[in-house]
Amino acid sequence: MAHVQDVAAYILGKLGPMTAMKLQKLCYYSYGYHLAWEGRPLFPEHFEAWANGPVSPYLYGRHRGRFQLSVGDIAGDPSVLDDGERESVDIVIANLGGMSAHDLSTMTHREPPWVNARRRANVGVLDRSNEVLDNEEIYTFFDALVSSDEEA
């Protein structure tokens, strides 16, 4: 199984430089879609409901203080991703990779996993929170998206 830093390094290798916030959101969407498509987590690290959307604190620890990230800035090993993991991330990159960090963050603010975690923490939109996003809620939300796409 890959780790979040491996997925982050893979995304940077595919898309090149981007903001840390955009990288966090692409890792989150990769995680959510992979969970729905494959029925298994993409990596063991969790996401927390921060003010700007879901953030992996583990990944944050690897880029803290940096706004812009480039290939090689996150020490991860993209080669550890298996075929299913790579395919999930590639699909997310193809569909969401062109979006801005702000647009990706705005999307997460309308989605139940982040909204529910913020509600559980009883915090306002801009307040700090380290409430963990629930894996079952992530699965349910992304599985519904995948199911509606398949029906269309």
Q: Is the dihedral of CA 36, 61, 109, 112 positive or negative?
A: positive
Mean pLDDT of 66-73: 96
The pLDDT-based confidence of 150 (bands split at 50, 70, 90) is: confident
> Which pair of structure tokens corresponds to residue 55?
């953030």
pLDDT, tens digit, for every residue of 26-56? 999 999 999 999 999 999 999 999 999 999 9
Closest CA to 26 of 95, 81, 72: 95
Q: Which amino acid is at 144?
A: A
- pLDDT digits 0-9 by tens, 72-86: 999 999 999 999 999
pLDDT of residue 152: 60
